Structures are given as structure tokens and as C-alpha cells.
Structure 1
């Protein structure tokens, strides 16, 4: 495609924003002028793109009429504050914050056809990192299984919570390895060499906002609005790369040969033989696929399928998915 598009990235100095800018360059996205935006505190810094240092400006004073597409790799509050302004200026929005409840969640490998339904300027959500990974892995199985229920244990890297969380894990690790007293700051307790049973505060029913978001997004992405989903998100002391233990209950015995074939043929999936298994470090981090391993029946349940997944949460789970959505969207824009 020769037609270029003027684009804004809001939250360009954050971990996801910087990764998004990097992927725009790697994929040779048809960028005309790239506008990098952030809060007043981050404005004035620079981010590299296509061999040049681009200055980051304040989002508050930006005129979105200058661009046709804006990525919001920022907080939900900022997305809610500026997304309407952007659309009113004729700019399509791809939000990565989860702050736009009325935006359509899209993962190209699962529900790309929904993009054709959207009026322009479009309003799209690139879902949570966990929802992206799970949708990529489960979408190829919809034709193989009559899925009744999905159970997920999501072991999430700290980088999903931003650079401050990454720095906190590094600081805690250094303190403990040097036998110094530990004072938790970002997290409410020790996360280094530990596992935390929840990510975020729980509601009156004991569920976190992320867990509820994951259930809602996965039902939309798989077009299974009544699907029963049980999910627990835990915080593990890993810098980058999310991992998932997934159990799928079918109404009939699962044919593992068919399942493995479907996974091997699916886009954005890398399968690992059952005598091995993938991990974030050494496999997923820095890669653009979802790794799937330990494909097996339940011990006493041939109707149950168990999987192990791992993926780079910042790349495939966040920034790459948003750019892939944009690649499909611009076909309707030019």
C-alpha cells in the first residue's frame, strides 16, 4: 500500500507506547507524519522512529484533526478524556487501555470480520494482553470442539502494569539478594521471589477488574456470549511474558489429533511437542506469536482439553495486536 496515513500515538513514552512505535517501524506501516503525545510530565522527551528522534508533545493541546488514526497506549482515564475529541475530529481510535466500554474488541486472528461492520471514524479496543493470547489460541478450536466452559489461570508479568512495576521488581530483587531490608512501594507486599494471588483490588464478589474484563472480552472475541469462563489472574515475579494454564471442557470427547492439527495450521501460533514446553524466557519474549504446549486430555476426562500458553505481553499481547488491527482498518479508510 502506497497511501500513507498521519498517525498519533498517545502514551508514546510508556512501555506499550514505545513498543508500538517500534512495531510500526518494523512492519513498515504506511506512516505519513507520526505525532507522539503524552502527559505534560513526559512532553519534551524524544522517541526514535525510522532513524530520527521525534519530540513528544502534550496531548492536551493536540488537534486530532491533523491525523486519521490515533493509538491510545495510556491510562483508561486519558483514553476516556480524549477519544471522543479525536473521533469528533474525524480520527479513528484504537484504544489499548480498556477504558472505552463502547468500543469493539478486536483480535484479527479471532474476529477480524467485525471491522467491516464499523462506521468511520472507528472506535476499537485492542483487548487486554491476556484476552489476546487466549483468543488467538482458542479461536482455531471453535470448529473442533463444542466448548462448554473455559478455566484459566493467568500468570502475568509485572510489565503489564508499566515501567514502574518493572523497576519495583528489579529493586526488590536487588534488595533481597544483597540481604537488605525490603520496603514494598509499587506493590503492597513483596513480589520478588513470590507469587501474588491477585492483580489489582477485588470487588465484593472477590473478582478483580482485570478478571471481569478478561471474561467479557473473551466472550466477544469468540462470539460466544454465554460461554462460562472461570479465571484467576495472579502476579508472578517475571519482567516480561505472560503464561496461562487453560482447561477447555467440551460436550464430547476431544480428538487430540484434530486439535493439534488446528493449532499447527492457525495463524500466530507456534506449537511445541509434548516432550517439551515453552516458557517466556527463551521462547516467547521478543516474538510475535502465542506458544502452545502441553496439549492433553484431562486425567480422567476425555471431554477436557488442557493447554499451556505463553506469549510476549507487550508485543503480541498489546502493541502488535493494535498495529495488526490498524493494518486491517486502513483498508476501509483509503
Structure 2
């Protein structure tokens, strides 16, 4: 890539924003000028990039006409307030917050070709981390599986709430180990040494908003006619990484050797040997790969495929996917 882009990263001091800046450097993304933006107390902090400490500037009042591409990693409210403003200024937008329902969701391994039908400036969405991970795993299988239904049980880490969730788990753990009274702040109850059967606020039908978002993103990215999706999310006292237990209903009996072969050939997927299983700690955290294991045919249905996935939600599920979208844009469309 010889061309360079002037880029803005909004939410540069958050967990996802920091990882995004690191990946721009690691992957030698062709950055011209990099503008790091945030609001409130985060403005004024310094973030390392290519041997320098770049000062984080105040988002309010920034002129998006200065940049050609903006990554929004600062949460839904900020994206709603500023992403369309940036797009209107002629800046292509990649939103990681889930706020832009009308943006085009992209997982490069699964539907990157859709960028060819869009026009600049682009308004794009990096889907929910869980949807990104599952869509990337299903991509090499989609044409041969004959998908009818996805039943997904996702155990989320506390970093699904960003830095606040990580800080809260650390604080709660310290309080409990020192036998001090505990007052939950970021979660509605104790998350340390516990598992919460509800991940965040509820939306329609009693489903958590994140569950609805995951289901919506999967349907849009996979684009399988009539696909039914069921999602249940829990929160575990784990700092980083998501663990997914997936059950797929197919239209024909499972050909396990063929599915195994397709997964082994796919870059970005690490297939764990039978008899072993992937975990977020020790396997996925800090890695770009998706770890897949426990492939097996259903107990009572030969057309049911079960598997599990371990993924770094901050790196692979969020930041890397967004950077890969940017790489596609600059290579082919910008």
C-alpha cells in the first residue's frame, strides 16, 4: 500500500481504541496524519504510535474534513452524535459501537465483497465482537453447510463494558479478597467470583440489547435466506475474551471430516485437536486467530453441528476487524 490516509480514531484512550492504534502500527497501516480524539478527562492524555507519544485531542469541534477515514470506538452516544457529522464532511466512517443500524456491517472474511457495491464516503459498521467471530468461522463453511438455524450461547468478559468493566472486576475482586463490603457500580450485582445470566440492559421481548445486536449482525453479514438465530449472553469474571458455544441446524447430515478440512485450510482460524478445547486465557487473548474446537455431531440429530470458539473480543472481535475493513478500503476503494 503506497497510498496514505489521514485518519481519526475516536475513543483512542479506551480498551478498543488503544488496541486499534496498536494494530495500525503493527500492521503498518498507511497512515498519513493520525488524529487521536476523545472527550472529557481523556483529552490531553498521550498514546504511543510509531515511536512518538501523540496527544489525545478534544473531540468537540474537530473538523472531520481534515481526514479521509474515521474509526469510532467511543461508544454508542458519541457515534450517534458525531459519526453522521463525519460522514457528511466527506469522511468514510467505520463504527465499532453498534449505534449505526443503517451502516453496512462488514466482516472481511465473510462479506468483504459488499464494499464493491458501496460508494465513498463509506458508512460501515464493524459488528458486535461475538457476531464478528462467529461469522468469520462460518464463512468458509457457508456454501456447504446449508444453514437453517444458529443457537448461540456466549459467555462475555467484563471488557464488553470497556475499561470500566475491567476496572470494576479488579475492584470487586480486591474488595472481596480483603473481606470488605462490596457495592457493585458498573454491573447490577457482584460479578467477581460469579456468573451473570444477563449481559446489560434489556430490549424488546426480554432479550438483552447485545443479544439483539448479535442476532441482527449475524443475519446481515451471513445473508442466508430464512436463517433463524437465537442468542443468549452471560457475563463471567474474566477480563478479556469471549467463549462461544454454538449449535448449528443444517439441511443435511453433518460431514464432519469435510467441515474439519475446510476449517483447517482457513487462515485466521486455529482448529484445536479433538480431545482438547480452546480457552480465552492461554489461547485467544492477545491473538489475532479464532480458536475453534469440540466439533461434534448432535446427540439426537445428524444434521446438527456443535462447536465452541474462543476469541479476543477487544483485539480480533473489534479492533482487528475494523482495521481489516480499512485495509480493504484503501487497497480497492479509496
Q: What TM-score results when the alignment is normalised by the length of structure 2?
A: 0.98
Q: Is the 8 A contact 1:109 1:267 kept in 2?
A: no
**C-alpha distance in 2, partners of 1:79/1:268?**
29
**C-alpha distance in 1, partners of 2:40/2:243?**
35
- Which residue in the other structure is 1:269 paired with? 269
Task: Please state how far the C-alpha of 1:81 moved relative to its aligned partner.
Answer: 1.2
SS at match of 2:197: coil
- Which residue in the other structure is 1:131 paired with? 131
Task: Please state how far the C-alpha of 1:333 moved relative to its aligned partner.
Answer: 4.0
- Which residue in the other structure is 2:68 paired with? 68
User: How far does the alpha carbon of each residue in 1:232-262 deviate from its partner, in whole angstroms, 9 at most, with x for none?
Assistant: 0111111000010000011211010011011
SS at match of 1:112: helix
Task: Please state how far the C-alpha of 1:144 moved relative to its aligned partner.
Answer: 2.0
User: How far does the alpha carbon of each residue in 1:20-73 deviate from its partner, in whole angstroms, 9 at most, with x for none?
Assistant: 000000000000000000113211111110010001111111111111000000
**C-alpha distance in 2, partners of 1:136/1:304?**
19
Gaps of 5+ in 2: none
Are 1:185 and 2:185 an aligned pair? yes
SS at match of 2:70: strand
RMSD: 1.0
SS at match of 1:198: coil
User: How far does the alpha carbon of each residue in 1:75-110 deviate from its partner, in whole angstroms, 9 at most, with x for none?
Assistant: 111111111221222110000001111100000000
Aligned length: 334
- Which residue in the other structure is 2:101 paired with? 101
- Which residue in the other structure is 1:23 paired with? 23
User: How far does the alpha carbon of each residue in 1:294-327 deviate from its partner, in whole angstroms, 9 at most, with x for none?
Assistant: 0001112211100010010000000000000000
Q: What TM-score results when the alignment is normalised by the length of structure 1?
A: 0.98
Matches within 5 A, 1:36-185: 36-185=36-185
**C-alpha distance in 1, partners of 2:308/2:281?**
15
Gaps of 5+ in 1: none
User: How far does the alpha carbon of each residue in 1:240-289 deviate from its partner, in whole angstroms, 9 at most, with x for none?
Assistant: 00010000011211010011011111231110011111100100001001
- Which residue in the other structure is 1:255 paired with? 255
Stretches of 4+ aligned residues off by more than 2 angstroms: 331-334
